[in-house]
Structure 1
Amino acid sequence: MCGITGVFDTRGQRAVLPAVLRRMNDSQHHRGPDEGSVHLEPGVGFGHRRLSIIDVATGQQPLFNEDGSVVIVFNGEIYNYQSLIPELQALGHRFSTKSDTEVIVHAWEQWGEDCVKRFRGMFAFALWDRNQQVLFMARDRLGVKPMHYAVLDDGMLLFGSELKSLLAHGGLRRDIDPLGVEEYFALGYVAEPRTIFRQALKLPPASTLLVRRGQPIPQPKVYWDVRFTLDSRATEAEACEELLRRLKESVKLRMIAEVPLGAFLSGGVDSSAVVATMAGLSNDPVQTCSISFADPQYNESEFAQRVAERYRTNHHVEQVDSDDFDLIDTLAALYDEPYADSSAIPTYRVCQLARQHVTVALSGDGGDETFGGYRRYKLHMMEERMRSSLPASVRTPLFGFLGRVYPKADWAPRVFRAKTTFEGMARTSVQAYFHSMSQIRQPARSRLYSQRLKSELGGYSAMEVFNRHAARAGTDDPLALIQYIDMQTYLVGDINTKVDRASMAHSLEVREPLMDHELVEWAATLPSALKLQGGNGKKVFKKALEPALPHDVLYRPKMGFAVPLARWFRGPLRERVRSSLLQGPMLDGGWFNPAEIRQMVQDHESGRHDHSTPLWSLLMFDAFLRQSIGEQPARQEAA
């Protein structure tokens, strides 16, 4: 696991200044504290920060082929590298290391752009082929590892694991993209391929970019997509048996390491399943890490403890104070662009704890998307059945009217909070899911935005992100459709981003067995009735694990990593909210309607409405402005 960065002259062979490249590389020191190296040649500069996991002795980067004509910097793991080495050797390639990085180099020589189709893992890499005069970049299928890039006005292409390495170059304009602002306040993150800056992009998951020197820069090319065929004829028992076989194989592949390895154990289904599988594959006790919360409303550590005791793990627990909000500025510095998932706080803490004991940790991320586990899936399917029972000509005006007139009753019991349901019923399936996933919904976003921002948006809505992916989903099954949308949006932009930044902040590698692309492909063949049935999400997953895990771990309500935002903003963070949102960069930038923010703050403090989610989104946007826009590195030496 590492940090990579680089500069490529798309037009010629202008020199890349060593000081600039070192600055870009050093900005990601946290991603790889073990070693840092650079490679320079005319028109090319590659930087690498290394966290040594596999082939610790000889796996240094940048790494070259036999004659030095191909050089690579790589972040991630190729889990099937051990089977690819003999295959490539049989084709005549000579290896000087035992690393998965060298596999990529020789696979490029052998299969060109199609090499990525042979890799099973999480990866982002860039390689330069001097003989062909091409820069080739790639990102793994499910977007576990990040890749950012930008083409400057002078034709220089910058790339890096994190945006901060591009910003450290000094030549990237920091103009904010208004479309990125809209996506952030709708979704809580800026969705691929956009970043918050106009000039910078994210390479989308399952995509490659081949740039040939002297030629126009093409669009990224998609090399993989999941297809929800739902055509498996397996019985429930057969599906359970196959699931356990595939889970075991995926976990086993991810236990290959030359450094201490363990797992996160939250007490939820997914992490517990991973730990149970690891225990069956290891002769030694598994190292497990969990955090507990002082507030019992958010604490599920007792369930983690039960799993730890059952499998005799070396379990490490640390209690997080319920007022652990001093990370706001730290998180803003980590993410480089606004990011509004407040569970980033406990995720940061559990990574901090894990790094004290291991260098690699397995997680349960991806299980909800793959097997249909989110509570919102059940609610969406209930709405979908109601939507399908009425023609749109009746449903849209009727429920549209009810959604407008029904009060927003945050204070009422959940059964009486029907406004969102009415609003959802008036929409199409995709529109309704976007509405349910929005951090700040329309028309609240419209009230929040200034006239200038609305003008710059030109009618753009983040709904277009969902529309774009829905058009590619290739399924009209209502559950499969929203699973596909989540895999392309929430999983990548929220979950994977959160875990990557939080773990790499502590030089910790996190591996996700439930995001193995072969497991995901197989799960996409299962009928939706084996995932969600009778309000029970992840049906086949839980059924398969009944012999391995306690019943109440499998079937209790999902909790998640929540934090008490509403209470914070009425108590210890009250003054921070006022000083950040009612003055300074938030208002000086002209993005927002000051009167709407002021009313939102007053309504929340008085208890009239719970505005904790939009207030947190605004607070993190303010922290981003102060961190990223306020820091302007030297530009005079940029090259």
Structure 2
Amino acid sequence: MCGITGIFDTREQRPIDRALLERMNKTQFHRGPDEGGIHVEPGLGFAHRRLSIIDLSSGQQPLFNENGSVVVTYNGEIYNFPELTEELKAAGHQFRTHCDTEVIVHAWEQWGEACVKRFRGMFAFAVWDRNVDTLFIARDRLGIKPVYYAIRPDGILTFASELKALMADPDLPRALDPQAVDDYFAYGYVPEPRTIYDAVHKLPPGHTLSIHRGLRVPEPRIYWDVPFRDTGPMSEAEAMEGLEERLREAVRVRLVAEVPLGAFLSGGVDSSAVVAMMAGLSSDPVKTCSIAFSDPAYDESAHAAQVAQRFGTSHQVRQVDPDDFGLLDRLAELYDEPYADSSALPTYRVCELAREQVTVALSGDGGDETLAGYRRYRFHMQEERLRSMMPLGLRRPLFGAMAHLYPKADWAPRMFRAKATFQALARDAVQGYFNNNAIIRDEQRQRLYSESFRRSLQGYHPVEVLRYHAQRSPTDHPLSLVQYLDMKTYLPGDILTKVDRASMAHALEVRVPILDHPLVEWISGLSPDMKLKGGEGKYIFKKAMEPHLPQDILYRRKQGFAVPLAQWFRGPLKQRLQETILGDRLRDSGIFDMNTLQHLVDAHVSGQRDYSAPLWSLFMFEAFLRRNEGVG
């Protein structure tokens, strides 16, 4: 795994600031500590940091074609590169290395922009072709690898694997995007294509950006989407066999490396299934690692140990201190923009542990989104059944009025929270899904902001992110639709971002077999009833894994990878919480209503309410402001 960065003059061939390019590249040293490379020519500069995984002796980047007219800087792994190499050789291309990077150069020469459709893997790369004065930037289908880019007012485009590299440019505008701020407090991250900065964008998953010098910079272009095409009649037995076969193949192609390789093992279904496949494909014991917590409410290490014993893995466990919040400032440095998933803390620790043994680790990420494993899918389907009993045109005014009249009772048992039920029935499916999963819901977010900040939003609402994707969804099935929305937002914006930054902080490559795109395409075409059946998420996946994994691994209640925020904020972090949330930095930002912040702190610390989620999001936003003094 690597880090890429570059500078491109979209208008002319002005000299590139090599010193700036070097500074940008240096900020990503952690992504590739093995080697670095820089190429500069009139109007273009590419830089690269390399973590050597395959073809350790060659494959240095930036890498060129035979005559030096095409150059690439690339981050990722293309698992079908041996087959593509043979196909390209047969077409007359000459190879000087045995690495997947050179495949990109020749694939671009052979197929142009369509080359991305031939690649199986995770990737972010930029190709410069001097023959046609074109810069081509691409990101993999599911968004496993990141790409940030910005176009300055003077026409200079910069791009990189991480936002921090772009922020090394003193000429890049630093103004925050108010809509991105609102997105952050709704989702807990800033969804693609926005970033927290108005001038910087993320290239969305499954998109490319092709820029011809001297022409207007176009919008990114989509080249792949999750199809959700019905695969036709299929028995459970056929689905189980097909799923296991495809998962094993996805794991197999990810076992190629010239460095030590292992796996994360949480004790959950997804990571356990990946380890089971690895064990069946390897003659040596699989290296596995997991994190333990002293609080049994958060600890899955016994389940991980059970799987490790079953498959005879070389297993390492490390207990995380129950008060392991020393990473708080480190998180702001890693994620560059506000990021409120507190599981980033244990994820950082498990990556740290894995890197002591291996350079490449396989993970089970993606199973919940592709196979409907989250409990929220079950809740959404229950609400949808109620909503389907009456048209929206009748539901909205009727239940909206009832919700307005009924008193709020969040403190009461769920059966007495009729206000929330009426509100849910008054919404459409996308509104309902948004509201149920927002970190800070609409009413509270409105109170959170100052009057001037609310005006700056100009009527914007974060549900528009989901509506944008819903309008382009290839499916209208209520379950498949929200899976699709998560694959477009939560998966790349939260889950994959978390793993990329935490792993690359330790120069660890993480491979994600469940997000192998042929597997994702096939799963998307299965009947929704095979994914969520009788209230059981991942139904067909668990059935397929029954010959490999114990029942109490497959069918126990999902725990997640959480940390005890509520206790921290009432205990060891209490004083820091009060100083942070009520301090000058949030006050001076002009974004927040300080009376609301005072209420959140007081009510949580007293035990009256659990406001740990909004407080954590505020905590991490303050850390972002502190690290980036002067933004606004």
TM-score between the two structures when normalised by the length of structure 1: 0.97
Cα pair 1:127 1:136 within 8 Å, conserved = yes
Question: What letter matches 2:528 in structure 1?
Answer: S
* Structure 1 residues 10 and 394: alpha-carbon distance in aligned structure 2, compared to 1, 3 A threshold: closer
Please state how far the C-alpha of 1:629 moved relative to its aligned partner.
Answer: 3.2
Is the contact between residue 410 and residue 610 of structure 1 (CA under 8 Å) also seen in structure 2?
Answer: no
Q: Does 1:620 align with 2:620?
A: yes
Secondary structure in 2 matching 1:629? coil
State the partner residue of 1:506: 506
Where does residue 160 of structure 1 map in the other structure?
160
Residue by residue, what CA displacement relative to the aligned partner does 1:584-633 show, whole Å, maximum 9, x if unpaired? 2211010111111111111111122111100000000000001123599x
Q: Distance in 2 between matches of 1:403 and 1:330?
A: 43
CA shift in 2, pair 1:349/1:207, >3 Å: same
- The aligned residue for residue 210 of structure 1 is 210
> How far off is 1:397 after superposition?
3.8
- 2:575 corresponds to: 575
- For 1:419 and 1:565, the matched residues in 2 are separated by 27
Aligned partners of 1:300, 1:402: CA distance in 2, in Å? 43
- Hey, what's the Cα distance between the residues in 1 that align with 2:609 and 2:83? 58
1:526 aligns with 2:531: no
> Map of 1:492-571 to 2, 5 A cutoff?
492-571=492-571
Q: CA deviation at 1:405?
A: 5.6
Deviation at 1:407, TM superposition (A): 5.9
Q: Percent identity?
A: 62
CA distance in 1 between counterparts of 2:553 and 2:420 reads 30
Q: 2:210 aligns to what SS in structure 1? A: strand
Tell me the residue number matched to 1:479.
479
Using the alignment, how far apart are the partners of 2:199 and 2:550 within structure 1?
Answer: 51
Structure 1 window deviating more from structure 2 (592-601 vs 400-409): it is 400-409
Q: Secondary structure at the match of 2:369?
A: helix
> Which secondary structure does the structure 1 equivalent of 2:388 belong to?
helix
Matched position secondary structure for 1:127: strand
Contact 1:269/1:554, CA 8 A, preserved across alignment: yes
Residue 409 (structure 1) shift: 5.2
Distance 1:407 1:543, change over 3 A: farther
RMSD: 1.4
Q: Judging changes above 3 Å, is the alpha-carbon distance between structure 1 residues 155 and 381 closer, same or farther for their aligned structure 2 residues?
A: same
3-state SS of 1:33 partner = coil
Moved more, 621-630 or 243-252: 621-630
The residue that corresponds to 1:229 in the other structure is 229
Distance 1:507 1:420 in 2: 45
Q: Distance in 1 between matches of 2:355 and 2:502?
A: 11
2:430–2:466 CA contact under 8 A, matched in 1: yes
AA in 1 matched with 2:439:
Q
One-letter code aligned to 2:83:
S
Contact 2:308/2:314 (8 A) holds in 1 = yes
Displacement of 1:390? 2.6
Q: Name which of structure 1's ranges 388-397 and 505-514 shifts more when overlaid on structure 2.
A: 388-397
Distance 1:20 1:427 in 2: 50
Q: Is it true that 1:78 corresponds to 2:78 in the alignment?
A: yes
Q: Deviations over 1:171-216 (max 9, x none)?
A: 2111100010011001011110000001000001000001111111
- Aligned equivalents of 2:53, 2:458: Cα separation in 1: 48
Once the two structures are superposed, residues 219-268 of structure 1 have per-residue CA deviations (whole angstroms, 9 ceiling, x without a partner) of 00100111212343110000000101100100001111110000000000
Q: Secondary structure at the match of 2:174?
A: coil
Q: Distance in 2 between matches of 1:406 and 1:28?
A: 53
SS in 1 for 2:48: strand
Q: Any idea what SS the aligned residue of 1:482 has?
A: helix
Alignment correspondent of 2:450? 450
Q: Which moved more, 1:401-410 or 1:501-510?
A: 401-410
Distance 1:551 1:591, change over 3 A: same
State the secondary structure of the residue aligned to 2:88. Answer: helix
Distance 2:317 2:60 in 1: 34
Aligned to 1:600: 600
In 2 relative to 1, CA 118–302 (structure 1 residues): closer, same or farther, beyond 3 Å? Answer: same
Is residue 406–residue 419 contact of structure 2 (8 Å, CA) maintained in 1?
A: yes
CA distance in 1, matches of 2:217, 2:3: 24
* Partner residue, 2:186: 186
Structure 2 Cα separation of the partners of residues 132 and 55 of structure 1: 30
2:314 is aligned to 314
Is the 8 Å Cα contact of residues 55 and 99 (structure 1) preserved in structure 2?
Answer: yes
Instruction: Report the AA paired with residue 49 of structure 2.
Output: R
Contact 1:410 1:609 in 2 (8 A): no
Displacement after TM superposition at 1:288 (Å)? 0.3
Question: Which residues of structure 1 form unaligned runs of 5+?
Answer: 633-639
Code of the aligned partner of 2:525:
T
Alpha-carbon offset, residue 422 of structure 1 = 3.6
> Aligned letter for 1:512?
V
How far apart are the structure 2 equivalents of 1:151 and 1:519? 36
State the alpha-carbon separation in 2 of the partners of residues 618 and 521 from structure 1: 37
Deviations 1:368-387 (A, max 9, x none): 11111110001110111111
Secondary structure, aligned partner of 1:174: coil
Question: Contact (CA 8 Å) 1:231, 1:525: kept in 2 or not?
Answer: yes
Q: Take 1:573 and 1:276, find their aligned partners in 2: how far apart are those partners?
A: 40
Residues 511-569 of structure 1: CA deviation (Å, up to 9, x unaligned): 00000110010011101010101100111000000000000100001000011111111
1:470-503 alpha-carbon deviations (Å, 9 max, x no partner): 0011222100000000000000100010000000
Determine if contact 1:292/1:300 at 8 Å carries over to the other structure.
yes
CA distance 1:419–1:94, shift in 2 (3 Å): farther
Equivalent-residue separation in structure 1 for 2:139 and 2:124 (angstroms) = 4
Q: For residue 625 of structure 1, what is the amino acid of its counterpart?
A: L
Contact 1:230–1:528 at 8 Å: present in 2 too? no
Contact 1:174 1:629 in 2 (8 A): no
CA shift digits 1:50-98 (9 cap, x unpaired): 0000111101111000001111100000010011000000000000000
Q: Give the drift of 1:416.
A: 5.1
Corresponding residue SS for 2:628: helix
Q: Post-superposition shift, 1:396?
A: 2.7
How many angstroms apart in 1 are the aligned matches of 2:350 and 2:10?
A: 42
Flag structure 2 segments of 5+ consecutive residues without an equivalent: none
Normalised to the residue count of structure 2, the TM-score between the two structures is 0.98
Q: Could you tell me which residue of structure 2 aligns to residue 490 of structure 1?
A: 490
**Pair 443,54 (structure 1): closer, same or farther in 2 beyond 3 Å:** same
- CA shift in 2, pair 1:261/1:195, >3 Å: same
